[in-house]
Structure 1
Amino acid sequence: MKKTLTEKNSKILLWIGVILFIAGIAIFIFKESLFLESKVNAEKVAQLGDFIGGVVGSLWSLAGVILFYVALTEQRKDIEINRDALNAQVSALNQQIKEFELQRTELSETRKVFEEQSETLKIQRFENTFFQLLNLHHELVDKLNFSKVSMMINISMEKREVLSKAFEDLEIKMKYSNSFNVKSSTGESTYTEDKPKSKEIALARMNKAYKEFYFDDYKQILSHYFRNVYHIFKFIYKSKLIEKSEKQFYASLVRAQLSSDELYLILYNSLLEGLGYPNFLFLIKEFEIMQNFDFRIIEKYEYHKGIYDDKIKDVKPTF
């Protein structure tokens, strides 16, 4: 049926109609001698019209229907082709979307790997410097030496013994800062306790005792030591290579290297303005360096613990 209803057959019907139309008119003219007679036979003309309308008109109508059907068929084919093309495009777009999703996932994973590698490199850079500073600290301690002639006896010490000796000497200075010397008639000296009446007096005595201890005997020995310990903690605090939460861990590693004698020396050094105050005291607060220090050692000196608490409470660094 579809092979019959074609554009070609429709054209054939149109041409048949045209031929019949021409043939009908020719026969009519020949039979009726239309041009020889002056009077036209209306009945014959009507029959000619009926013939043309009935046969030729029907053929042309059929040809038109066929052409319309063919046009609809072709249009439907075009629609189906377009729909298939659109489906193919949609499928291709969906495939591209999937590929883009996979690429985005791969890029995300790659970025995570790069970020992890970047963090690892940052930590490695930090740790290289950190452990170099820590090794330098141990080297400084190992190179400490102290020699002094006391009562015709040559006193010589090395390494951590120097820090223990410094602790003992500073203890003596702090002890006698709150006493006065009384000489008997025989010239013998005795020390009488003289407790400070206020925190201001205690602070003045404490500063005087520490300055005598540091500048008279130990500056050349301990200045480099204090600076190195300070710069280790400052390096941890200022570093942008590690997170703040990680800084406490590295600070605790340094803190573990410090003995009670060292903490005692660092504490008094950090209270004197121009030496460890305010920057070193701030780092003591930031990293809880005195966490394991026995404060009973300084509480036996009137107001010393209160002075420490007051200074560290609102300390602000200048770096």
Structure 2
Amino acid sequence: MELVKQTEASVKQAEEARKETQITNETMKQQQFEATFFNMLSLHHQIVNNIKFSELKKTYTGREAIGKLKDIYEEKFIEKQYILENPEKGLANLRDYRIKNELLEKLFGNSDTINQEALNEVYKEFHDEYGNSIGHYMRNNYRIVKFIVNNVADDKKEQISMKKETGREPIIGDKRYYFGTLRAQWSNAEFELILINSLYKENYKFKNLILKYDVLDIKESEKNELDKQTPLEGFILKASMSRFKAYRKLIENN
């Protein structure tokens, strides 16, 4: 009888030790993940601060440069649209800010005005000219998103599945928290350029991640009006994301 009690006690101690070891390992994995994640965010800020280019004898750096790059991208779209509508006039009239602002509102202030062909053409031209300034930044954002997706599981079942499929040791956590922390590093101009970059045909992998995991937090989460218990199917752009409505079809038609 005494031997049985000792055996049961030993088994219990071994189980408790196993659980403590498992908890310690999970804690260490989370600490390692977060150390790497926040180091990547630190690198993100370094990359932003190092962005630099000159335009019309003025030098732009950091977030000011990103804001200017977004403006340049939109100006290229305006030029393309103006030439399509006024092939005989050239671009001279675009020096008139009234005409320019009217086209800006027409293109980016209305829904479904940007098609894939036009975006591909304009963004390629933009990237060919300014890719050296913005390319590293975009690749780093993609790398951070991939790091979160590949290393954070929603629950134990997904953790086991990911480990079996990839051989990695993912932590169990909330991807939305880490995506939210990443978004908090972005200015409005960064946010917009990241979406536009992902919509370009060559960057479909980034677009797929953004839509699958709603990295940018732009998916409508309201319930279907006909059935309050059933979420809307597919990817529906939030009404509050008004600055993206020009790209709505490109976003929703995944």
Within 2, Cα distance between the matches of 1:184 and 1:219? 30
Which residue number corresponds to residue 206 of structure 1?
A: 119
Residue 135 of structure 1 deviates from its aligned partner by 1.0
Structure 1 position 247 matched with structure 2 position 175: yes
1:132-160 Cα shifts (integer Å, max 9, x gaps): 21111111011111212x2xxx1111111
Greater Rg over alpha carbons, structure: 1
1:225 to 102, 125, 137: 137
2:18 pairs, out of 111, 122, 133, with 111
Residue equivalent to 1:66: none
Change (3 A) 1:286 1:297: same
Cα separation, 2, equivalents of 1:308 and 1:158: 30
239-248 vs 108-117, greater mean Cα deviation: 239-248
Q: Of residues 185, 189, 202 in structure 1, which corresponds to 2:93?
A: 189
1:182–1:282: structure 2 CA closer, same or farther, 3 Å change rule?
closer
Contact 1:126 1:241 in 2 (8 A): no
Q: Please, which moves more after superposition, 289-298 or 224-233?
A: 289-298
Q: Is 1:159 matched up with 2:62? A: yes
Looking at structure 1, the residues matched to 19 and 39 of structure 2 have their Cα atoms a distance apart, in angstroms, of 30
- Structure 2 distance, partners of 1:306, 1:258, is 24
Assess if the C-alpha contact under 8 Å between 1:295 and 1:305 holds in 2: no
Q: Does 1:296 align with 2:236?
A: no
Q: CA deviation at 1:174?
A: 2.7
Q: Residues of 1 paired with 2:44 and 2:114: CA distance? A: 36
1:21-42, Cα deviation, whole Å (9 max, x unpaired): xxxxxxxxxxxxxxxxxxxxxx
Local SS of the residue matching 1:157: strand
| Residues 289 and 97 (structure 1), Cα distance of their counterparts in 2 relative to 1, 3 Å cut | same
Look up the equivalent residue of 2:242 and give its one-letter code: R
> Letter of the aligned partner of 2:131 in structure 1?
K
1:171 aligned residue (74, 78, 82)? 74
Q: Which whole-Å CA distance do the structure 2 matches of 1:114 and 1:138 have between them? A: 36
CA RMSD of aligned residues (A): 2.8
Change (3 A) 1:259 1:116: same
Matched residue pairs, number?
A: 204
Is the 8 Å Cα contact of residues 29 and 171 (structure 2) preserved in structure 1?
no
Q: Which residue identity does 1:287 align to in structure 2?
A: Y
Structure 2: 5+ residue stretches without partners: 152-167, 219-237
Structure 1 counterpart of 2:125, one-letter code: E
Residue by residue over 1:245-269, the C-alpha shift from the partner in whole angstroms, topping out at 9 and shown as x without a partner, is 4333222211221222112111111
* Aligned 8 A contact 1:170 1:210 in 2: yes
Instruction: Work out the CA distance in 2 between the residues paired with 1:259 and 1:200.
Output: 24
Query: Is residue 285 of structure 1 aligned with residue 211 of structure 2?
Result: yes
Partners in 1 of 2:119 and 2:80 — Cα distance? 7
- Shift of residue 189 of structure 1? 2.8
The answer on whether the counterparts of 1:142 and 1:160 sit within 8 Å (CA) in structure 2 is yes
Partner of 2:225: none
Q: Which amino acid letter does the alignment assign opposite residue 169 of structure 1?
A: I
**Percent pairwise identity:** 29
TM-score, L = length of structure 2: 0.71
Equivalent residue letter for 2:194: I
CA distance in 2, matches of 1:188, 1:174: 15
